[in-house]
Structure 1
């Protein structure tokens, strides 16, 4: 096993245990110990992940309650045999992002397409709920689950925005350079298979 990945996994587990202890623990001395364990986990992540400690603490040490995975959405929108991609700073990707606290997965999917591509869509079907660690190399201090949602195009046109610089429709055999941290070739193939299937069984990891 990759030693660096092992250290990062240990740090994430320590943080999760410490966060639960801080939330449920009543003894003030135990809470001090849990807080220190959380700091050590952040120090490990900063050292092994080559990140500034203060940035890690901002991401890693601000949540309360029992730690659960972060949820993100990616929209699969088709026009004929082409799929919608948006241009991110590191390459092209399916429209998507973190799910906001006050809306549903379907609503978030529609919102992200509107914000990143200027298009109105209808969220129709859950293609897959994937474990981010199994498909992406990005290091996060938490578990990430990604919901891929098949959508129907309703209307609209690309609008300038703060997140993407362009949008386009691409066939599977002619993809632009992808942002592998957000969308992989395997995930695009999955979306095309889901669209073509008469009866699609949601892929659950």
Structure 2
């Protein structure tokens, strides 16, 4: 089945949210509320989630709708890449998460690496800015951009955080089961490409 339904539903939701943020006319507000509910019905119908669950998620959103930002830290040691095992699905990912307001992308990734792995790092280079829609991630309600930043360990030691249950370094040809909401095998191999050729230009989309 085509995923075009999700693209349409996201666009309807974004129009509704922006309309609710800026409209003053009570009739327009009512129409935008109806569009928001229609978006939730479409997503619920095709995803298997209840409309009430979708409405609850969308109700947390306000203002002009923009893509959400996820940042991932790419850390190598002895030609192996740092991955953390996520509590939520017992699979592995590059350390990272949603960007917090008030921190830059590099500050966010440094914070996430330390919280999830125990290692203290410095950010060295942006290696990729990817649109989640253009990669084989499981489908999400919202639209995400994923930022991958090459980092270097300067201190700390392997220590699990509240969201992780294991920490390890893996070679490119022996990756563990990956948390596909967070990163794909293609993206991990992309990261190894920067290890092999540090002069590679950042990748977009």
Report how far residue 12 of structure 1 moved: 0.9
* Cα deviation code 1:84-139 (max 9, x no counterpart): 00012241111111111121110110111111111111111100000111223322
Q: State yes or no: 1:197 paired with 2:197.
A: yes
Determine the structure 1 residue equivalent to 2:58. Answer: 60
Match of 1:76 in 2: 74
Identify unmatched segments of 5+ residues in structure 1: none
Which aligned segments of 4 or more residues in structure 1 are displaced greater than 4 angstroms?
A: none
CA RMSD of aligned residues (A): 1.4
Which residue number in structure 2 is paired with residue 134 of structure 1? Answer: 134
Q: Answer yes or no: is the 8 Å Cα contact 1:75–1:95 preserved in 2.
A: yes
Instruction: Say yes or no: does 1:100 pair with 2:72.
Output: no
Between the aligned partners of 2:94 and 2:198, the Cα distance in structure 1 is 23
For 1:23, what is the secondary structure of its paired residue? helix
Q: 173-182 or 15-24: which moved more?
A: 173-182
Residue 161 in 1 paired to residue 154 in 2? no
| Equivalent pair of 1:8/1:49 in contact (CA under 8 Å) | no
Shift of 1:203: 0.7
**CA apart distance, 1:159:** 2.2
Matched pairs, number: 203
Task: Give yes or no for contact 1:84–1:168 (8 Å, CA) kept in 2.
Answer: yes
Alignment match of 1:34 (pick from 32, 35, 47): 32
Could you state the TM-score of these two structures normalised by the residue count of structure 1?
A: 0.93
Deviation of 1:8 after TM superposition, in Å, equals: 2.0
- In structure 2, what is the Cα distance between the partners aligned to 1:61 and 1:42? 10
Superposition deviation, residue 61 in structure 1: 2.9
Unaligned runs of 5+ in 2: none
